[in-house]
Amino acid sequence: MSDETGWRYYSHHYLPVDCNDLRNNCRPNTGVYEIYPFGTSSRPIRVYCDMDTMDGGWTITKGKVSSLYVSIKKHKDRLYELYDQFSVSNEAEKYKLFLAGPATGTLGDSMLNTALSRNNLSGMYFSTPDRDNDRSDKNCANSSSTRGGWWFNSCRIAFLNGPWYPASWSRPWYPTVISGIPVKETMMLIKHH
């Protein structure tokens, strides 16, 4: 604040919480930005903001119900699935996944309302090779065809963190994508409501 011949000036430093805040405040370009998801008294984090896909504003989330956009690029085709509600709990709750529909798109729903309840991922904890949090008898995150973190149930029909050895990456998004061979790119984008 400053005074000048009877005028008082205030300056306001806008600190965005996420990419959607940036989009709403005239930052239309896709790129890396600093955001403050943990409040203005914490350090900013640098994130990639997608400002092009489905009206832009996509990134990470904390403490908000958001939409989840999942896409897989096969050769030249991009398939996607949009979940209406998405959130992840904190570390103490093992990053429990919450998903709700409707799920719409061209990829097909392989996370929420699958044909078998043992494949549904909503309510699952995040598992890694050293943290077995799935409902299987084995550690799904440490199997020979997986070797990576994900919200496994018993074990998977969706797994975007597969090994980038395409021949050994099975069922990235079953039944639409049954092998990692045609997969050129995967994305998970998040935007709060």
Per-residue tens of pLDDT for the chain, all 193 residues: 455 666 766 555 678 888 888 888 877 789 999 888 877 788 888 888 899 988 888 877 656 678 999 999 998 899 999 999 999 888 899 999 999 988 999 999 999 988 777 789 999 999 999 999 999 888 888 876 667 889 999 887 888 887 766 667 778 898 898 888 888 889 999 988 7
Q: What is the pLDDT of residue 116?
A: 75
Query: Domain map of the chain by residue range?
Result: 1-57, 61-192
Equal fold, 1-57 vs 61-192? yes
Measured CA to CA, the distance from residue 183 to residue 188 in angstroms comes to 14
Closest to 153 measured CA to CA, from 188, 127, 187, 186? 127
Q: What is the CATH number of domain 61-192?
A: 3.90.215.10
CB atoms closer than 10 angstroms to residue 148: 18
Measured CA to CA, the distance from residue 91 to residue 47 in angstroms comes to 20
Fold category of 1-57 in CATH: Gamma Fibrinogen; Chain A, domain 1 (3.90.215)
